């Protein structure tokens, strides 16, 4: 991810105004109640500047074509024919380079035209993209081009919102690790008399009294597991000698605390008496 909350300097290509308003990244943060000083990194998949966005927009035009409105070529051979016919009439003298447009059109492979994925070095991709945009401006309905550019802007905005949501979720997990709550979703934090236990919560999970624990492993790593209280108490509260009931997992974050956080926010449980844990 690009570590910044600054808006990318996007310029309009086919739209009358910039596709994203100034301050849209701050808007994304506000939607998720994030403080203004919190950085929200731009996802790698979001174009970092206008040149990147031109490449993405050109690929979208090739992919979308005129399939919905039938106002543009849709098959790569139709696109090739249209571009080949367009290039000579567009003006061949580019920086003293006669034949530039035709050469750029011929450089596009059938795969690039058909699947909308430009290949080559960055500068080559950019030249291809600008050729596609110039061709599109002359041959495709303005309404279609504006629609494709707006769809691109909407996709970028959604990815930025997702990034802000991910930052908010990460801050919640960090707060859970650094200052774990006494009670969360029916789970109660318990003090355990074992030196390797970092954090533990107890509850009745699907009718079974259990304890979910983050603890140190002999190799120095951290582990997160759920044990039945019956097994836990029989083993004297030693996580290394207690039979595992569940290995904790998480779809976000990869630390043991992340897995415990996900666990206590996933299951519907009932509280247990404070003295349920004997050790």
pLDDT at residue 96 is higher than 80: no
Q: What is the pLDDT of residues 13-62, one digit of tens each?
A: 999 988 888 888 888 888 898 988 888 888 888 998 889 999 999 999 99
Residue 233: pLDDT band (50, 70, 90) is very high
Q: What is the pLDDT at residue 68? A: 41
229: which residues sit within 8 A by CB, 6+ positions away?
202, 209, 210, 211, 272, 276, 277
Largest CA distance in the chain: 86
- Domain extents in the chain: 24-170, 183-270
Structure tokens at 254: 């990869």
In angstroms, the CA 99 to CA 91 distance is 9
pLDDT over 70 for what percent of the chain?
89
H helical segments located in 69-141: 76-90, 100-107, 110-115, 122-139
In angstroms, the CA 272 to CA 275 distance is 8
pTM of the model: 0.74
Q: What is the Cβ-side half-sphere exposure of residue 41, based on CA atoms within 13 angstroms?
A: 9
Strand-strand pairing, 197-205 and 208-216: antiparallel
Q: 119-128 burial string, b = 16+ CB within 10 Å, else e?
A: eeeeeebbbb
Q: What is the pLDDT of residues 127-175, one digit of tens each?
A: 999 999 999 999 999 999 999 999 999 999 999 999 999 999 999 999 9
Q: What is the pLDDT of residues 165-215, one digit of tens each?
A: 999 999 999 999 999 999 999 999 999 989 999 999 999 999 999 999 999
**Token pair 């249209």 in the structure block, residue:** 82
């Amino acid at each position: 991810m690009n570590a910044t909350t600054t808006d990318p300097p996007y310029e309009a290509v086919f739209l009358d105004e910039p596709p994203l308003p100034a301050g849209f990244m701050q808007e994304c943060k506000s939607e998720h109640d994030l403080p203004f000083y919190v950085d929200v990194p731009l996802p790698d998949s979001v174009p970092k500047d206008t040149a990147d966005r031109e490449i993405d927009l050109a690929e979208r035009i090739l992919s979308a074509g005129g399939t919905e409105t039938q106002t543009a070529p849709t098959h790569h051979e139709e696109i090739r024919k249209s571009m080949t016919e367009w290039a000579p009439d567009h003006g061949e003298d580019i920086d003293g380079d006669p034949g530039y447009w035709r050469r750029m059109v011929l450089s596009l492979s059938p795969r690039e035209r058909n699947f909308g994925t430009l290949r080559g070095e960055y500068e080559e991709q950019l030249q291809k993209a600008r050729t596609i945009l110039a061709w599109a401006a002359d041959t495709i309905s303005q309404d279609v081009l504006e629609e494709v550019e707006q769809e691109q802007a909407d996709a970028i905005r959604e990815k930025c919102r997702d990034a802000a949501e991910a930052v908010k979720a990460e801050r919640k997990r960090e707060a859970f690790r650094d200052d774990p709550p006494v009670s969360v979703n029916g789970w109660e934090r318990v003090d355990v008399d074992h030196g390797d236990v970092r954090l533990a919560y107890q509850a009745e999970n699907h009718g079974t009294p259990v304890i979910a624990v983050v603890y140190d492993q002999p190799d120095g790593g951290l582990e997160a597991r759920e044990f039945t209280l019956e097994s836990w108490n029989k083993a004297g509260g030693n996580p290394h000698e207690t039979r595992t009931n569940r290995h904790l997992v998480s779809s976000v974050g990869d630390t043991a605390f992340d897995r415990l956080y996900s666990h206590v926010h996933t299951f519907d449980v009932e509280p247990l008496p404070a003295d349920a844990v004997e050790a």
